Amino acid sequence: MAINKHSLERAGMCKVDGGEVGYRYYEPHNEAYKKRAPLMLIHGGPGGSHIGMYDALNKLADTRPVIGYDQLGSYLSPAKVTTSLMQVERFAEEPRYLLDHLNVDKAVLLGHSWGGVIIGEFALKYPDRVAGLVFSAPLLSTQRWVDDCNGLLAQLPLEMQKTIRECEANGTTDSDAYKAADEFFGKRHFCRASRKPSSVAASAKRSNREIYNKMWGPSEFTHSGTLGDYDLFPRLNQITAPTMFICGEYDTATPATMKDAQAEVQGAKLHVVPNAGHACITDGYKNYTTALKSFLKDDVDAQAAKPPAPKL
């Protein structure tokens, strides 16, 4: 019988601008591992939940603390999120509130998809609170994302391309034909596993579609929400923390875009998970976690072990 090497130490609510967010703090039993910089899981969406991420990555809590929380308006953090609160800057403050609440000096931030926006903005505003960054299949630029998705759409059978274009143009995305084409696209570029993992299903079940629609829009191919002009690329070169970009081979966060992002961050690493889509954490679980553990050991923990540079 397997022995659990970590446990849920704390769970509760943390005050943030506009309400409270629900969090969970896991800690390894090993005393030395407890001293490592915690890994904070920042979920996608907008409107998703960290629970699916923890379900997939819980073994990481055996060797370092892991913090998970749901953003305001999401599953563990119910709130009436008005348009005025659906701003990138407000979401990017939530990790600071939580780190202060937990008395954590700095953390490794892993942001998946939309979570990449949050960790990028947080790192630029609070570099001293960041031990490392993992951009996991991240949204870095709305226009780049839409362009990449439409490039992938162009690889679908012509009839499916036509169906998606026409249904989105005339507002019939609830039709069976559109749903079939969208599902086909999803099996190619979102979750490629023959059987959808429970962690992916858990995330979908707990999603707040209202937040997604208001911040992004009705589909991956077009945008009409508050994220319409978002672009982190011009500021990526200001990031100084150890950084890794990771995505799936067939991801909507394409390897080409991730390679361009890697070139902007000094010393950044890039890992592409073979035969994986946007759900690269689960599509290529072993490959993904091996790369992540290597980054945490060789870049984050190695950096933390170095003596501080002398003050001039």
Active-site hit among 49, 113, 199, 219: 113
User: Residue type for 210, please?
Assistant: E
Active-site hit among 70, 141, 278, 283: 278
Question: Comparing C-alpha atoms, which of 77, 60, 64 is closest to residue 29?
Answer: 64
Question: Comparing C-alpha atoms, which of 59, 52, 47 is closest to residue 197?
Answer: 52
Buried b (16+ CB within 10 A) or exposed e, 287-310: bbeebbeebbeebbbeeeeeeeee
Cβ atoms within 10 Å of 242's Cβ, excluding its own: 24
| CB 203, CB 48: distance < 8 Å | yes
Rounded Cα gap, residues 137 and 221, in angstroms: 16
- 15 HSE (CA, 13 A, CB side): 0
- To the query of whether residue 113 is one of the catalytic residues in this protein, the response is yes
- To the query of whether residue 223 is one of the catalytic residues in this protein, the response is no
Backbone phi, psi, residue 275, to 5°: 55, 30
- To the query of whether residue 189 is one of the catalytic residues in this protein, the response is no
Per DSSP, the three-state class of 132 is strand
Question: Comparing C-alpha atoms, which of 210, 238, 31 is closest to residue 121?
Answer: 238
Where on the phi/psi map is residue 137: left (φ > 0), alpha (ψ -120 to 50), or beta? Answer: left
Active site residues: 113, 251, 278
